[in-house]
Every structure is written in C-alpha cells, then in structure tokens.
C-alpha cells in the first residue's frame, strides 16, 4: 500500500524497537497452568516522538499534516481528564506553532481537576489555550463544533480531532505501523503467533487490522477492551478498519472475523483502577523495568496475563505486546499502583 499520497508530518526519526521480555515471560509462565506460557515481546511505541511518546503520535502524523494542508491554526480535540491523546495533541500543536483547545469529558464524576498531577500538569506546562469540561455522555461532536464556531467567530480556523485521533486519516498511522512491523519481523527473523493491542476508540486496533489485511500479514491481532466488552467493541473496530481500507482504496470488505476483541479487564469503569491492572503494572516494572499506565496499557497487559493463564497460547509461542505509552498519567495513581490491590475490583 502506498501511503506517500497522504500528507504526513514525521515526529519520530527512527523505527520503534521490538524487544524480548525474558524475565517477564518467565514470571508469567510460573503463574500459568503447568508452569508454561508464551514468549512475550514488546513493541516500544511508548518511545515514539512527541512528549513522551505513545500510539497517538502515529495518528497525529497524518492528522496534523491534514490540518496544516487546510491552513488551520488551532487543533481542537476531546478526551478524559487525564487524556494521553490530549497531551500528545498539545505537544504536536506546540511543535507546529499552533494553538490547542480541549473538550474534557468527565466520564467519572469528580475526576476533573485543573490542579491535578499527571497529564493535567502537562497541559498547564505546555500551555493549552483552553479546556472546557462536559458531563459524561455529552454530544462530543457538537461540543467540538461549538469550539470550531467560536474560533471562526474570531477569524481563526480550527481543526477537529476526534477522541483518540480515531478516524480514517488517523488510522493511517497504524497502517504505517503494520508496514514497519512487517519489515522488522523480516529483518529479525521473527515469526509471531499473535499481537495484543489495546482497543478503545479503535484507531490503533482498526488501523492495524486494515494494515495487516492490506499487506497480507497473516498474524492475528487481538484487542483488549479498555472501555467496552466485545459485543459493543467489535462493531467500533470493524467500522474503523473498513473506513481506513476505503480511504486507501483497497476495494475489500473487512471480514468480521478479522476483528478479535477480549473484554472483562476494564471494569468496573473506564479509567477506574482494578486489582489485575495493579498486578500487571507492578509485574512488568519489576521484571523488565518497563512502565505501564493505569488506564490503558496496565489493563491491556492484565488482559494478556489473563489470556496466558487461561491457556490461550502454548509454550514457546511468541506474542507481541504493543506498548502504546501513557506514562504521565501513572503519576496520578501513585498510591494505588504501589498498593496490593486490596479493596479494588478484581
């Protein structure tokens, strides 16, 4: 697939590494039936450019390029109070000399605090122009449009970026990642049995599915839900993958069976900690020195651990965990991730 016909800003001057995790794999195997488990590798998209890395960078390479091509001067996006996506969008805006505004959806009542640590601190430090909070379940498209209209009234031109940067243009970032993975596996002589990725707003998961189909990469991609269980998540990912394929002109229908989702690891609510997340964050930190965040990657890794303990993979099979970043929000949950998970939902 030729991505060169789409405008793109390059924020990462290198290929993110793929690394084995032998100590983590050994610890995981020890907790699996029979003491055997998969060989787990990690794709370090937490090291992507735009402070301090993460999957949104790949999407923003195409989204910001589109905004610049349209002559926009302000990026407007939406996210939760500790949104990694908002932080990296702001980082891209600063780098490009643009202004940036947020619509913050307070998905859990009482969690929006302008003086909070984590990403809220980063928002203030990097100079977000404005934040407007709305209650959970608000019409976010309408809220974004209100911001665009307000900018237009000032003679400015805004560019709306949806939650997580997840639309067909943003999904191109993970088509590019699919191509990157394919070349890395060839160069490394590495054959993987499955890729585990987070599945939320679906730009990453859907983009990878489209990229794997378009490049004929015969490796299953399983998404661990961070806000929905499969009955609700699969249609979201399928729509995103199809939209990306259509934008690329691939002339193919995405098979429903190409979209695999796993639920049960995000409860009790999006962004609310649970004991399995705490175990996953501690386990990876203490075996490989790799840090996860409590909202996304911690719960995704909890899903990988749970699948391994449930016998999804045989001994010696190779599984790739796509690390999508999120480090700053970890600091907003310090007492929780240093605890033993007591009192938290399973």
Please list the active-site residues.
Answer: 83
Read off the tokens for 324. Answer: 């999508």
Read off the tokens for 339. Answer: 């605890």
Q: Give the integer Cα–Cα distance in Å for 283 and 306.
A: 13
Q: Give the integer Cα–Cα distance in Å for 222 and 217.
A: 14
Upper half-sphere CA count for residue 266 (Cβ side, 13 Å) = 22
Residue 204 burial by Cβ neighbours in a 10 Å radius (0-12, 13-18, 19+): buried
Check: CB of residue 143 under 8 Å from CB of residue 116. no
What residues contact residue 55 under an 8 Å CB cut-off, 6+ apart?
Answer: 45, 48, 173, 174, 198, 203, 204, 322, 324, 325
Check: CB of residue 32 under 8 Å from CB of residue 61. no
Q: Give the integer Cα–Cα distance in Å for 91 and 126.
A: 7
What residues contact residue 279 under an 8 Å CB cut-off, 6+ apart?
Answer: 302, 305, 341
Q: Of 228, 226, 196, 200, whose CA–CA distance to 56 is shortest? A: 200
Read off the tokens for 237. Answer: 């990912």
First to last CA, the chain: 43
Q: Give the integer Cα–Cα distance in Å for 193 and 336.
A: 33
* Helical H segments across 249-288, by residue range: 275-288
Q: Of 6, 47, 54, whose CA–CA distance to 203 is shortest? A: 54
What's the CA angle centered on 325, arms 139 and 213, to 5 degrees?
A: 75
Q: How many CB atoms lie within 10 A of CB 339?
A: 15
């Amino acid at each position: 697939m030729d991505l060169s016909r789409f405008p793109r800003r390059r924020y990462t001057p290198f290929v993110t590494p793929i690394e084995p995790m032998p100590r983590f794999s050994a610890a995981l195997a020890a907790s699996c039936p029979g003491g055997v488990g998969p060989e787990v590798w990690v794709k370090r998209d937490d090291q992507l450019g735009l402070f301090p890395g993460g999957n949104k960078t790949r999407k923003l390479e195409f989204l910001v390029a589109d905004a610049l091509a349209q002559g926009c001067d302000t990026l407007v996006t939406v996210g939760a109070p500790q949104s990694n996506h908002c932080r990296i969008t702001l980082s891209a805006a600063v780098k490009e000399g643009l202004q940036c505004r947020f619509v913050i959806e307070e998905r859990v009542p009482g969690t929006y605090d302008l003086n909070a640590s984590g990403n809220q601190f980063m928002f203030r430090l990097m100079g977000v122009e404005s934040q407007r909070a709305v209650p959970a379940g608000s019409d976010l498209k309408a809220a974004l449009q209100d911001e665009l209209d307000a900018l237009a009234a000032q003679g400015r031109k805004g560019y709306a970026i949806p939650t997580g940067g997840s639309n067909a243009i943003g999904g191109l970032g993970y088509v590019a990642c699919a191509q990157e993975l394919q070349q890395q596996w060839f160069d490394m002589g590495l054959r993987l049995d499955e890729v585990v990725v987070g599945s939320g707003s679906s730009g990453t998961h859907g983009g990878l599915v489209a990229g794997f189909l378009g490049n004929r990469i015969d490796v299953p991609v399983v998404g661990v839900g961070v806000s929905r269980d499969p009955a609700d998540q699969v249609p979201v990912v399928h729509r995103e993958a199809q939209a990306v394929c259509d934008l690329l002109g691939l002339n193919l229908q995405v098979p429903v069976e190409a979209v695999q989702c796993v639920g049960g690891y995000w409860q009790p609510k999006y962004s609310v900690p649970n004991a399995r997340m705490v175990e996953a964050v501690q386990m990876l930190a203490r075996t490989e020195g790799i840090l996860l965040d409590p909202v996304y990657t911690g719960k995704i890794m909890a899903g990988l651990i749970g699948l391994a303990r449930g016998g999804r993979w045989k001994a010696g099979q190779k599984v790739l965990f796509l690390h999508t970043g999120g480090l700053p929000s970890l600091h907003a949950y310090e007492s929780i991730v240093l605890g033993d998970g007591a009192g938290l939902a399973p």
